[in-house]
């Protein structure tokens, strides 16, 4: 490890990427960095996305490689941005009809009283074979109205779907109301590097292995995907701010879309970012700003299996 100056430089901007904004250089702050790359500059390719009730304002096309999604929630409900890499030859329309629709149908059965095991079996029957080839590639986690969630991932060229499936108060998936949008990742390289991490979290079944001290202020967290459950959503991590009287068990129950109250507005607490799942072996980075208070790291699908850890910032 050597000490050196780190320069966070500007994003790649092309005419086709109208919402990809140049960020001012945050130069001059000394940082400890790994000398491995042997370069003197770390660059970020920042893609600005605005979440509304219920749509994403986003570019249609971005370069491949390291990409930082900055999701600004301008809605009145929680949102997130899950990136899904579609298998070649499939389209957004097919995704909505053949994958979104089955989840919606099963959700209607759950509301009608079906138990989770039966609902899970029904979902298995309804989903097409190509669902197994859709790769979840991370993306900004849950973020409350007015908040900004920033998450960096490395993307291969291809066709992606950006999706949010938080539910409205009357139980409709945001994804079925417009928050399912296509994104093309081109062959052109972004030239960006991954950010420097202040903290590392390794995700396995069913544990957060945290390395480093959690400090106040802006923290960049590296998340290493080491293991996923076999028959459900993958492991991921989100950060939720808890009030003194927030019941963590209520938040845990909220994380499971199969629960009647699950992922349904209003959320029981305010989320401030995180990352969705990626395939084993990948690393995602997210940035959160931690003011003094009570928080928890929490997974979406495995919170009730122990993937939750409370922490405090003094
Ligand atoms: Cu949403």
Distance 5 CA to ligand 1 centre (A): 38
Distance 28 CA to ligand 1 centre (A): 37
Contacts of 96 (CB under 8 A, 6+ apart): 175, 176, 180
pLDDT score of 41: 52
Q: Is the pLDDT of residue 144 over 60?
A: yes
Distance 155 CA to ligand 1 centre (A): 22
The predicted model scores a pTM of 0.86
The CATH architecture of the domain made up of 2-86+134-313 is Sandwich (2.60)
The separation between CA 93 and the C-alpha centre of its own chain, rounded to angstroms, equals 22
3-class state of residue 162 by DSSP: strand
Lowest mean pLDDT across 27-31, 236-240, 298-302, 304-308: 27-31
Confidence of residue 42 (pLDDT cuts 50, 70, 90): low
Distance 60 CA to ligand 1 centre (A): 19
Dihedral of alpha carbons 127, 128, 129, 132, sign:
negative
Distance 104 CA to ligand 1 centre (A): 15
Mean pLDDT over the full length of the chain: 89
Which residue reads 């901007």 in tokens? Answer: 13
Average pLDDT over residues 50-61: 98
Q: Is the pLDDT of residue 26 over 60?
A: no
């Amino acid at each position: 490890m050597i000490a050196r100056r780190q320069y966070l430089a500007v994003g790649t901007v092309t005419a086709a990427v109208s919402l990809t904004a140049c960020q001012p250089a945050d130069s001059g702050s000394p940082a400890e960095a790994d000398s491995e790359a042997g370069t003197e500059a770390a660059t970020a390719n920042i893609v600005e996305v605005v979440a509304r009730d219920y749509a994403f304002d986003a570019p249609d096309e971005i370069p491949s490689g390291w990409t930082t999604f900055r999701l600004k929630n301008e809605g009145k409900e929680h949102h997130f941005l899950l990136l899904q890499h579609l298998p070649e030859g499939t389209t957004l329309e097919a995704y909505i009809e053949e994958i979104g629709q089955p989840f919606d149908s099963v959700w209607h059965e759950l509301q009608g009283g079906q138990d989770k095991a039966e609902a899970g079996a029904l979902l298995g029957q309804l989903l097409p074979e190509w669902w197994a080839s859709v790769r979840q590639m991370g993306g900004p986690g849950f973020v409350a109205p007015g908040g900004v969630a920033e998450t960096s991932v490395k993307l291969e060229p291809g066709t992606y779907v950006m999706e949010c499936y938080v539910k409205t108060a009357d139980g409709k998936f945001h994804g079925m109301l417009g928050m399912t949008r296509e994104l093309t990742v081109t062959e052109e390289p972004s030239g960006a590097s991954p950010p420097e991490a202040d903290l590392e979290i390794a995700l396995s079944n069913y544990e957060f292995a945290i390395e480093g001290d959690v400090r106040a202020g802006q923290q960049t967290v590296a998340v290493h995907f080491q293991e996923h459950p076999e028959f459900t959503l993958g492991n991921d991590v989100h950060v939720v701010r808890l009030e003194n009287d927030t019941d963590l068990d209520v938040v845990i129950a909220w994380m499971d879309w199969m629960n009647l109250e699950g992922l349904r507005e209003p959320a029981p607490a305010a989320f401030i970012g995180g990352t969705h799942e990626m395939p084993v072996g990948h690393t995602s980075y997210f940035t959160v700003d931690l003011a003094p208070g009570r928080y928890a790291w929490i997974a979406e699908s495995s919170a009730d299996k122990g993937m939750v850890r409370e922490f405090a910032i003094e």
